[in-house]
Amino acid sequence: MTENKLKAALNALRKECVKVVPSKTGFNNSMAAEVRFAGPAYAENGDKHLICPQCNNKLSFVFQFREKYDKNFKPSGSLFSVFYCFNCMPIGRQSEEIGQWAVVEHKNPNPDKFVDGFGVNSKFIPCSCTLNRVFVLPDYETIETNYPEIAELCEELDSDDPISVYEDYGLEIGCDMEPSTTLGGFPIWIQGEGSQACPEAGCTPQFIAQIDSEEMVDLMWGDAGCLYLFRCKDHKQFSIEMQCF
């Protein structure tokens, strides 16, 4: 009975998201507005190079993605490009100087408007990506905090190791249970649930994506960490948090 209750609760909670997997190295201009890692960021005439105010180095382009994807992964909406200072390594604290990272929005991206040379970091390997739809669940600490009834079911099944119960049943209902680069769904935290607030008004922003450390790209956030990206629905302001093992 407990097993059935747990499966039902997890099925009701799980969310679908887009999993992004680096698949092929290299870059050409036809890929300019696609979801991808490293190389030159999408840019247009009039865009300016982004400079870190802390160290005066150019920000590195890391990753870009589109606002929406239909069931066949046809993109629509804005293109968001994520830039970051790997010299200063901001982790998302409010005390950090603004401008050590940035998310640049282009509302109508088109490869014909692409201007090359923005944000290139020669340490990273440009990669195109494949997209897949997967289901995800929150990490177990989030379950304990926000869904205690699910945590209690896991403890009923194994009081010594409820986390393994949660992960096993998550896998059984078809969920990815390890951090990866994803768009939407739930953040899968490494060091416990973060605390995000809109820099404009202090309201709680929406989780947008997490960018994992990616071996093919030669991208590493600290010690095999993730960068989590949030955006306020009302003020359209982005915020980040970086966590590592």
DSSP percent split of the chain into helix, strand, coil, nearest 5: 20, 30, 50
pLDDT at 95: 87
Q: What is the pLDDT of residue 67?
A: 94
DSSP symbol at 115: -
Helices (H), the chain: 2-13, 140-146, 148-157, 162-172
Structure tokens at 138: 């929150």
DSSP notation for 29-91? GGGTTSSEESSSPP--TT----B-TTT-PBPEEEEEEEEEE-TT--EEEEEEEEEE-TTT---
pLDDT score for 236: 80
Domains of the chain: 2-14+135-175 (no CATH), 15-134+179-243 (2.30.320.10)
Tell me whether residue 117 is exposed, middle or buried, using C-beta atoms within 10 angstroms of its C-beta: 0 to 12, 13 to 18, 19 or more: exposed
The ranges of the chain with pLDDT < 70 are: 197-202
